[in-house]
Amino acid sequence: MTPHTPATPRYSRIVGTGSMLPPRRVTNADMAADLARRGIDTSDEWIVARTGIHARHFAEPGVPASDLAVVAARQALEAAGCGPEGIDLIIVATSTPDMVFPSTACIVQAKLGIQGCPAFDVQAVCSGFVYALTVADAMIRAGSASRALVIGAEVFSRLLDFNDRTTCVLFGDGAGAVVLEASECPGLLATDLHADGRHVGILCVPGHVSGGQVSGHPLLQMDGQAVFKLAVGVLEQAARRVLAKAGREESDIDWLIPHQANIRIMQGTARKLRMPLDKLIVTVDEHGNTSAASIPLALDVALRSGRIQRGDTLLLEGVGGGFTWGAVLLDL
């Protein structure tokens, strides 16, 4: 009788990143001028003081989320030294899909010339990338995939009410992608996901298509104060849970890459973790809030600029509508 040999543990590791920002950069001055034409008062100083945002990028009409996703995906594939044919799982996190169905992931799959592998969307709003990365990691660990393309892609400008100065100045469009590959050495160390549907109403787009017509309200609505209060608390909890799962300490974190929503939320989270602010990756100033795209966008920018190095320990944290939140601790 042949003795049973224990299977080698299977982990996942990020081996390539990519990103895409639409060419059209919209400054706070541009936003203020546009809103002034609508009789709405705002200014660069007002926006920066409350959010830390100086500019954002908007996709041109007719450019769908999948177009942004494909550019980011190709960059990530190139960085990973992998062709599209090497991908056996595609997950796209988005709240602004190209169509009601099929999924944006299937559209991306077709545009990349990939056939046969599973492809699906994840909808957890601004937590979407953390959710998608967690699902891909679980599928790789289970042996259901070996090399996954995980993308966050949004054209959030399509959901904005440009008569509401408290929300329309916050968001931007973009995409970020990673290639997640099976590995004998741990890359993703631990993940932690949560949701609380009691808070649906504080951040939502309460509309849908029914009988060929828009039913409900198809533009973003947000209770900013309620989101702020909830976000800082749950992000700290998720960070501590993921550290505990991995057997790591706060001091082990080299870089914090939170969802890029608001500089005050981001800095508040860093302080609660006793992390110096120079270890906080910030792109919200130039990108605005790109929802599910914000974390992979920030990761790619920081990696390509040389701030983040291979071997660094990163804490990724997302929080968004639902209310959803989560964290991923990883060694790059």
Of these residues, 28, 259, 262, 287, which one is catalytic? Answer: 259
- Whether 126 is catalytic is yes
Distance set, CA 181 to CA 133, 150, 190, 247, 276 (Å)? 11, 11, 16, 23, 31
Can you give the length of the chain in residues? Answer: 332
Q: Which residues, other chains included, contact 315 with Cβ-Cβ below 8 Å and sequence gap of 6+?
A: 239, 242, 243, 253, 255, 256, 257, 273, 327, 328, 329
Beta strands 255-258 and 313-320, pairing class: parallel
Tell me how far apart the alpha carbons of residues 191 and 211 are, in angstroms, rounded to a whole number: 40
Tell me how far apart the alpha carbons of residues 98 and 105 are, in angstroms, rounded to a whole number: 10
Tell me how far apart the alpha carbons of residues 296 and 129 are, in angstroms, rounded to a whole number: 7
- Whether 194 is catalytic is no
Of these residues, 28, 57, 126, 204, which one is catalytic? Answer: 126
Residue 275's identity, in one-letter code, is M
Element (H, E) at 274: none
Q: Which residues are catalytic?
A: 126, 259, 289
